[in-house]
A and B are shown apart, each in its own frame.
Chain A
């Protein structure tokens, strides 16, 4: 099992550019989510999905889009990058959204927007 994988590890964007952060898991987990980690603020939920074809917004969804066409993949799209989106992005997955689940985190993508 590779677990949760994320690409790229590092990315630098100019303001206004768009890009997609990739996330994949091979554990057949239904639930996937994206967080951003900023110093002194912990992790904040951007978007989540409870299964293929179903997504919803978290705490800080503005400026980001997601889709879930397969169980394995959950890409995060930045539509028009802004310096405020400079952050470390983590993807996570778990077996089911409720119950006694554990979330597994990917290694993160460090994004800098200049």
Chain B
């Protein structure tokens, strides 16, 4: 079955620390990859997405992610986090099987950034 794994459920960092959140998926075909962010009390917002081309994609708020096809991974990075990055982060993978393109979410990583 197709699945998305996010390795860290909770991450605690100090401001200015670097961030890397892992995401691996299990699906051998074509995929589109997404990172969504959910700030406390808010709905999900798209952070960045990868469809094709340069495997290093840049998103909003200084985030970037790298697609490594051989490792089935799409890790999210930010060189220097801020307190305002405290949120829950979801990796999602869209697969193309059958007539319906399904968006599968990982379990999420809760990030807390301390000043």
User: Looking at chain B, what size class is its interface with the partner chain?
Assistant: 20 to 34
In the docked arrangement, what's the CA distance between A45 and B101, Å? 12
Is B90 an interface position by the 8 A CB rule? Answer: yes
Q: How far is the CB of A98 from chain B (nearest CB, A)?
A: 5
Inter-chain contact total with CB atoms closer than 8 Å: 45
Within 8 Å CB of A48, what residues of B?
Answer: 100
Q: Which of A45-91 contact B (CB under 8 A)?
A: 45, 48, 50, 56, 58, 90
Alpha-carbon separation in the docked complex, A106 to B45 (Å): 10
Contacts A40-B107, A42-B4 given; indicate if A97 touches B101 (C-beta within 8 A).
Answer: yes
Expressed in whole angstroms, the minimum distance between the Cβ of A77 and any Cβ of chain B is: 21
Closest to A4 in B: B43
Can you give 29 A-B contacts (C-beta < 8 A)?
Answer: A33-B103, A40-B108, A42-B4, A42-B90, A42-B106, A42-B107, A42-B108, A43-B90, A45-B103, A48-B100, A50-B100, A56-B100, A58-B102, A90-B43, A90-B44, A92-B44, A97-B100, A100-B32, A102-B46, A102-B49, A103-B46, A103-B103, A105-B36, A105-B43, A105-B45, A106-B43, A107-B42, A107-B43, A108-B43
